[in-house]
Amino acid sequence: MNLREYQKKAVEWAKTSDGLIIAPAGSGKTWIAASIIKHFLEQHHLKDYPCKIGWLAPTRETCQQARTSLRVSGASDEVVEVRCPHESVDFSKKDMLIVDEAKHSPAAGWRRIIESCKGFRYGFDATPWGDDPERNAVTRMLFHNQVYEINRTDIGDSLADAYLEISHATDLNIHQKIDDNIERLFQARRKYMWITDEELKRMCAWESLVDIGICQNKQRNDYAIQYAMEHGDMQTLILIPRITLGEDYEKRIPGSRLVHSKISKKLRKAAMDEFKSGQLKTMIATSLADEGLDLPNVDLLIMVSGGRSSQKTIQRASRALRKTETKNCATIVDFSDKFHPIGSFHAKKRMTCYRQLGCIFQ
């Protein structure tokens, strides 16, 4: 493997310490991990004392990406065990553990597996830190409070430029409808949901924003669909919050394909392969796209899904930032969501993320 300079520096750091490696999406975290393993095996793997390495990844797709990287690096599947986290995973006797999408580390199942490994631990993530300080502290602890960060400036021109377009399209006069629905859900659920009123209110607000502000927002969806159809020559990824909304998009956009976690792995792979080859121009996806969706040729990303999570926004936007031999720039379309103050607040948080990613505002 021919590593870029910033990748080589990360591998050199890993020779002196284990820990958490933070790097932007599209910077080749999987290749860095595979190179770390290759070096470790060269130094420690003996015939009489073979090394054992575990690789924890959140989805089947990310597991497959890991296996591909390992084959290219020359590491044997007999030495590196790649698994999704579940009860039967036992990495307690591994000499090294790679954790992909390390933001999940504080979750009970992930934490159990990671803590059981007494060998070297390397976590990889583009956005490991969330809004919960306690979860962030657990993540740091699991990787021995050691952090190495690759910044976007370190990557240079290895990522594509992204042009951001903000639409104000929305149905009018739905503010009150959303508020009424929040109150209705809140009153109905507080009788049986054992969480604080504040948590319940946030849950009801998000559900109402998605259902009324996004899924039922005709002008907003008409704009997204029309934009995709007018740019039908571009490799377009549309991210949506509900399968039912995606089904409507699929019906209205000729030649498009909806991909979500409830369809078979075979159908998902077929759709992704067609998209990568250019045969499929428009792919519609749910939260499946948040992790492990390797589609470097996305020219146009339409962010119908909304939300305020910095982690998810950066993950999703990064689908458009991967650079290829034929792609130097991409376009991201998002919405100001001024139909409700909460929607507008979420949108402003997404704009902050786009600025952090270096997007060019149109």
Secondary structure element (H or E) that encloses residue 201, with its range: helix 197-208
Share of the chain above pLDDT 90, in %: 65
Do 192 and 114 belong to one domain?
no
| pLDDT 10s digits, 32-84 | 999 999 999 888 876 667 789 999 999 887 888 888 888 887 776 678 999 99
- Whether residue 172 is found in the same domain as residue 319: yes
pLDDT-based confidence at 138, cuts 50/70/90? Answer: very high
Per-residue confidence (pLDDT) for residue 290, from 0 to 100: 60
Tens-digit pLDDT profile for residues 236-284: 999 999 999 999 999 999 999 999 888 888 898 899 899 999 999 999 9
pLDDT of residue 61: 78
Domain span including residue 260: 159-361
Give me the mean pLDDT over the 331-357 stretch: 94
Residues 188 and 270 in one domain: yes
Residues 286 and 318 in one domain: yes
How many domains does the chain contain in total? 2
- Domain closes at, from 152, 173, 189: 152
Binned at pLDDT 50, 70 and 90, residue 325 comes out as confident
pLDDT at residue number 32: 94
Q: Are residues 214 and 137 in the same domain?
A: no
Residue 289 has pLDDT above 60, yes or no: no
Q: Does pTM surpass 0.85?
A: no
Note whether 142 and 120 are within 8 A (CB).
Answer: no
Domain check: are 19 and 99 in the same one? yes
Average pLDDT over residues 90-99: 96
On the question of pLDDT at 6 being above 90, the answer is: yes
Neighbours of 268 (CB within 10 A): 20
Predicted confidence at residue 356, as pLDDT, reads 82
3-state SS string over 158-199?
Answer: HECEEEEEEECCCCCCCHHHHHHHHHHHHHHHCCCCCCCHHH
Q: Which of 119-133, 237-251, 334-348 has the weakest average pLDDT?
A: 119-133
**Do 180 and 145 lie in a common domain?**
no
pLDDT of residue 142: 97
Give tens-digit pLDDT for 12-41.
Answer: 999 999 999 999 877 889 999 999 999 998
Confidence category of residue 315, pLDDT binned at 50, 70, 90? confident
Q: What integer best gives the mean pLDDT of the chain?
A: 91
Same structural domain, 142 and 165:
no
* Residue at a domain's end among 152, 169, 187: 152
Residue 55 shares a structural domain with residue 30? yes
3-state secondary structure (DSSP) of residue 39: helix
Q: What is the pLDDT of residue 292?
A: 56
Domain shared by 94 and 198, yes or no: no
**DSSP SS3 for 352:** helix
Task: Kindly report the CATH number assigned to the domain that includes residue 41.
Answer: 3.40.50.300
Centroid of chain to Cα 359: 18
pLDDT at 79: 84
Q: Please indicate, yes or no, whether residues 92 and 188 belong to a single structural domain of this protein.
A: no
**Where is average pLDDT lowest: 91-100, 113-122, 309-318?**
309-318
Residue 273 CA: distances (Å) to CA of 120, 276, 283: 35, 5, 11
pLDDT of residue 145: 97
Residues 319/237, Cβ–Cβ less than 8 Å:
yes
Are 28 and 144 in a shared domain? yes
The domain boundary, picked from 96, 127, 152, lies at 152
